[in-house]
Chain A
Amino acid sequence: MCSGRVDLEFILRAFSNGQDGVFIGGCKLDECNYVTHGNYDALANTYLAKRILAHIGLDPGRLRTEFMSGADGNLLADYTDDFSKQVKKLGPLGKTEGMDGKQVKFRLDAARKLIPYLRLVERERLRVPVKTKQAYTQFFESEEIHRLFDAIFGDRLAISQIMMLLGETPLPTSEIAQQLGLNPSAVSRHMMASSRHGLVRYDTASKCYTLA
């Protein structure tokens, strides 16, 4: 398997399990031994995963991807040492970010549910035409892509989280907003849209939303 096989689910699952850092090693860029250059896929996934982490309030520095050859054992050791130091500095997952373990897992699991959707979006809107490290960095670190990502990911993450909450128990809008730290008007916008899509329904008696 190629480093491009390391998909978003692997990364987010590891964090969701409580790992404090994830390191991905791939072959050197532009030196693919095949014709695939799949390590660029790994690079793109890394940028996406970092964006997701940032979005749910986790430090993107907890994820690192480095490229090296089979003869670069020393580099791997250097990178690993450096990364270990960095992760130690960040401390246990969620701690520096001011979240408890339950909250971290809740958000990560909500994000994981969006992976199939992200795969579709990636193909259509987040693909870099030129395979150079510079082009990838420029693309994924541009304001425009950040805005685009937030636009397509933000609302869906909120909805995903709401669905998870409602999966446990029916809740009123205000309670949802409070639990997720969201603006109540944003939540009611999501609730309207979700009931239109037939995902949730409003129970007038208890004034709670529940899964449809």
Chain B
Amino acid sequence: MEGTLGDFRVSLKTRPRYIIEDKCTGCTTCVTYCPVQYPDAFNQEISDNKAVHVFFSQAIPLVAYIDDSCLKLKENKCDICSGVCQTGAIDFRQTVQKTDINVGAIILSSGITPFDPSVKDEYGYKRMKNVVTSMDYERLLSSTGPFEGQVLRSSDKARPKKIAWIQCVGSRRVTPGDNSYCSGVCCTYTQKQVILTKHHYEDAECTIFHNDIRSFGKDFERYFQRAEALPGVEFIRSYASVEREIPDSGNVVVRYATTDAGVKSQEFDMVVLSVGLNPPKAYKEISQIFGIALNSHGFCQTESTNPIQTNRPGIFVSGAFQGPTDIPESVFTASGASSQIGELLDYRRGKLARERIYPMERDVSGEVPRIGVFVCHCGANISSVVNVPSTVDYVRTLPNVVYAKEQIFSCATNSAKEITDLAKQKGLNRVVIAACSPRTLEPLFRDTLREAGLNQYYLDMANIREQCSWVHAKQKDEATQKAKDIVRMSVARASFLEPLLEFDLPVNKAALVVGGGIAGMTCALSIAGQGHEVHLVEKAKDLGGMARRIHSTLEGLDVQTYLDNLIQQVYRNPLIHVSHEAAIKRVEGYLGNFTTTIETEGRVKQIQHGASVLAIGADVYTPTEYLYGENERVFTHIDLGQQLALGNQTILGAESLVMIQCVGCRNEDNNYCSRVCCGHAVKNSLKLKEKNPDMRIYILFRDMRTYGFREDAYRQAAELGVQFIRYTPEDPPVAQAVTEGGREMIRVVVADPILGQRLELDADILSLAAAVIPSASVHEIAAHFKVTLSPDNFFKEAHVKLKPVEFATDGVFLCGTAHYPKHIPESINQAYGAAGRVLTLLSRDTVVASGSVARVTENDCVSCGACITACTYDAIEFYDTPKGKKARVNPILCKGDGLCNAKCPTNAIILKHFTDDALLHQIDAAITKEVRTNEYRS
């Protein structure tokens, strides 16, 4: 790679696949005939695959490739695959391809590599047959895994009943070969594996040997509780080592120590090593090629003010190459990187896009239904269970079906083309695809219909995979009968489908950002940086939010200087309009066209905008525990940080200071972890030790959750003599104000689990890790914008992993601590992520609204208003007609849930595409005359 921002030239080398992608249909016939058995890399080499194979079942594109184990390539011996391939897709003449591309910016999303425990003898991996890694286990649990979802020992194919997980393998250790940092994801993925194992096998006995349980992610605390509460699941807090393998049984003995029982050994059928995350294998090459700096761990070096930017302008980093991260962070950093590139390359936006032109839509509304049915094999996914040819024969006998055909993969490009061609040739006016769930491929097949000049709503999908072949693998005859039933129902519905129009709605190009903290300001700047006006609404007099009370971060950021700079950028940006002391009064409209009424500094103002970002932040819990508010020696961590920045001599000169973690959360009222407090405690203790090395500092904790690189700071604090004492919620510390020998202090009594006795800690200062709690205004804001809340009253995103900055309500986005407590760099990541999603909306001139909305047959409406009360979206209203008041649907606001349809006493309101006619005929077709009469006779 060479060049600079705006003009990079990258040479790419593509290894040959030896398969012509366009010709391969993914039918896997070649795989069946290939004679070479070779360990399957995707299944962790537990099972074998062939030299020619599809890498994994959801690979994109879903076509085969030939790897180095191929006999033809190695010894020029075999050519069977070329012979069996029906489409002539095999091509051994392919060579390494070099391509040069010219780009303006680059995103590095090279991910991570799982830690390899075979580098160290002590883990027993590869040395003992039944020691596996969590990645191996992940594949064992998978239905596309080595034993098709059965958890078996590869050594003897026996099902392990007693399974142990050992946590922190390769992580949180300073020994050579291990990583000093915490990988951050292993606690929760292990809990997931335990829950799945118990789901597979009720009698499984699962033991987890762990250090701290780090359930710091959103909803993770509840998830941990769920895993822990399962019968036959035991969490044991102990370092554990793999002791030996028992020769006959192949079982593995694990040695561990607990405070109650001392050193013990236990035998397990299988041991799972919960391996951590290493930087990508090629991190050195990546750093050299792209000229970017790495940190001491081999991950990308970034600044906490913008963790998406590398040290080289124009090159960005997203995902776990930033450092160990979970899925939601990976998703929003990806979106964030796109937003930052948008800021750089906005002037070229849309220049490479080409408009898709469809043929004219044929009006078939006057024709009788002519249905074409395509039954998909899905490779072997469907056809290995369902008899596809027999299903096709049956379908041909159904009313209105004029054509039926089987396809290997209906979703393949050539199959879609075939559907289009046949629809034209045979004069089809409705199409049924009997294949998979409409969730993924309905958009593709709708597109196929448009290509054939048919309205896209003339499509119905019959799901004979997820709801048939995948669940009835062992009952082939019954599954075939069921597939026929499903298709018959689909055909019945298809006759009643109607052509529907989708709307193009204009998009207002401005954004509204609610909340002027770090997240809100960062998001506003990134949106404005791409040429869009932003209305930034802040409830306080000044911008800054919670960050006003934070002075430094563990990474060493001077928060106040950074914040002042950020605020200046906001005020100086001509596209950002800030409203102070503002309250949201009313929100009307919908995706692309919102009107928000606010009251700001005594005036009422209306804002027109296309997108909304909710970045309202969070509050700090005011402790009622531990003498807070009663005794001036008791602080919260935030207060303490502020006092340290002010140079409070009483605190800096203290002889002894105690911190108590988890105050106001991880309890019944707030059943979640506030995520940031362990980091804050360590940060404050390091600051104190720096100023006053003699100070005795005690941190009373439940689980230290210094995930990621923060682990290094935790270790440093311990090395500097900060004492960490674990307590349990059943026996929490007790604080009492005492005066002894003229010295006023707080006496904290806590049980020491290691020494097994009660410790009395006399502290000059007591600092409490007060929980981060949802903003007081969260309910009000949620109601205005019609968005939902999670059980803990933080904003609920559309999907916790895959859509972490979007709401289910279209056009509304979220970022920052209103989503869940998080550190400043994480908030910044998410703010850029939200900006990226906002831009995908605002950069368009129009958005498309679904055609499946409700409509009213005016003559049948009796003005009872049942539909109006049933609608949550205010999409239905009365209007005056010569025949009196009648209900009317605003199709733009209607979300197509159809609740009104089920409430209307006269069936005057109908949900299009899911009409009574269509659905009742589908219900009628669920049972055949033969079945009905037979049953009544019996």
Contact = CB atoms under 8 A, between A and B. Distances in A.
Interface in B899-938: 899, 901-907, 911, 914, 916, 919-920, 923-924, 926-927, 931-932, 935-936, 938
A32 B798 CA distance: 10
Interface in B764-802: 786-788, 798
Contacts of B787: 35
B927 A17 contact: yes
A36 to B, nearest CB: 4
A198 to B, nearest CB: 20
Contacts of B5: none
Interface in A16-54: 17-20, 32-36, 38, 41, 45
B899 A38 contact: yes
Interface stretch (B454-462, B533-541, B662-670, B890-898): B890-898
A155 B522 CA distance: 66
Given A34-B808, A36-B899, A38-B897, A13 B920 contact: yes
Contact of B919 (A10, A45, A73, A92): A10
B927 A119 contact: no
A106 to B, nearest CB: 13
A93 B898 CA distance: 30
Contacts of A100: 936
A35 B905 contact: no
B289 interface: no
A10 B932 CA distance: 18
Contacts of B926: 14, 17, 19
Contacts of A70: 439
B137 to A, nearest CB: 18
Contact of B924 (A2, A17, A33, A73): A17
Contact of A5 (B199, B864, B914, B936): B914
Interface in A52-110: 70, 73-74, 77, 92-93, 100-101
A120 B899 contact: no
Contacts of A77: 471
B866 interface: yes
B872 interface: yes
B809 interface: yes
A34 B902 contact: no
Contacts of B902: 4-8, 41, 45
Contact of A119 (B439, B852, B904): B904
B671 to A, nearest CB: 15
A33 B897 contact: no
Contacts of A19: 926-927
Nearest to B916: A9
Best-buried of B852, B873, B923 by chain A (most CB within 10 Å)? B923
B869 interface: yes
Best-buried of A5, A9, A18, A70 by chain B (most CB within 10 Å)? A5
B91 interface: no
A4 B864 contact: no
Given A13-B923, A17-B932, A18-B932, A33 B808 contact: yes
B910 to A, nearest CB: 11
Contact of A18 (B872, B911, B914, B927): B927
B905 A120 contact: yes
A35 B809 contact: yes
A123 B896 CA distance: 21
Nearest to A35: B786
A1 B896 contact: yes
Given A32-B788, A119-B903, A14 B923 contact: yes
Interface residues on B, range: 35 or more
B625 interface: no
A1 B809 contact: no
Given A5-B901, A7-B901, A119-B904, A34 B872 contact: yes
A8 B869 CA distance: 19
Nearest to B199: A74
B914 A1 contact: yes
Contact of A33 (B798, B896, B907): B798
A152 B850 CA distance: 40
B709 to A, nearest CB: 31
Nearest to B808: A33
B79 interface: no
Nearest to A80: B471
A1 B897 contact: yes
Interface residues on A, range: 35 or more
Contacts of B203: none
A32 B787 CA distance: 10
A74 B197 CA distance: 13
B542 interface: no
A113 to B, nearest CB: 12
Interface string B152-190: 000000000000000000000000000000000000000
Contacts of A123: 864, 866, 869, 903
B481 to A, nearest CB: 15
Given A1-B898, A5-B914, A34 B927 contact: no
Contacts of B873: 35-36
A106 B62 CA distance: 53
A209 B914 CA distance: 41
A2 B927 CA distance: 23
Contact of A35 (B788, B870, B911, B931): B788
B199 to A, nearest CB: 6
B818 to A, nearest CB: 17
A93 B938 CA distance: 11
Interface string A141-152: 000000000000
B504 interface: no
Interface string B393-435: 0000000000000000000000000000000000000000000
Given A5-B897, A5-B901, A9-B916, A18 B935 contact: yes
B907 to A, nearest CB: 8
Contacts of B786: 35
B466 interface: yes
A41 B927 CA distance: 26
Contacts of B904: 119
Given A5-B911, A9-B916, A123-B869, A116 B927 contact: no
Contacts of B935: 18, 20, 92-93, 101
A137 B936 CA distance: 34
Contacts of A101: 935-936
Given A17-B932, A120-B864, A92 B920 contact: no
B390 to A, nearest CB: 24
A4 B923 contact: no
A17 B898 contact: no
A184 B935 CA distance: 33
A16 to B, nearest CB: 10
A51 B167 CA distance: 53
A17 B935 CA distance: 11
Contacts of B869: 123
Nearest to B466: A73
A82 to B, nearest CB: 14
Nearest to B935: A92
A100 B439 CA distance: 41
B905 A116 contact: yes
B337 to A, nearest CB: 27
B655 to A, nearest CB: 51
23 contacts: A1-B914, A7-B901, A8-B902, A14-B926, A17-B924, A17-B927, A18-B931, A18-B936, A19-B927, A33-B788, A34-B788, A34-B872, A34-B897, A35-B808, A45-B902, A70-B439, A92-B935, A101-B936, A116-B906, A119-B903, A119-B904, A120-B905, A123-B864
The 4 A-B residue pairs with the shortest CB-CB distance, nearest first, are: A5-B898, A101-B936, A7-B902, A2-B897
Interface of A: 1-2, 4-10, 13-14, 17-20, 32-36, 38, 41, 45, 70, 73-74, 77, 92-93, 100-101, 116-117, 119-120, 122-123
Given A33-B788, A41-B870, 14 more contacts: A1-B911, A4-B898, A4-B899, A7-B902, A17-B932, A34-B809, A34-B872, A35-B873, A36-B895, A38-B897, A41-B902, A116-B905, A117-B905, A123-B869
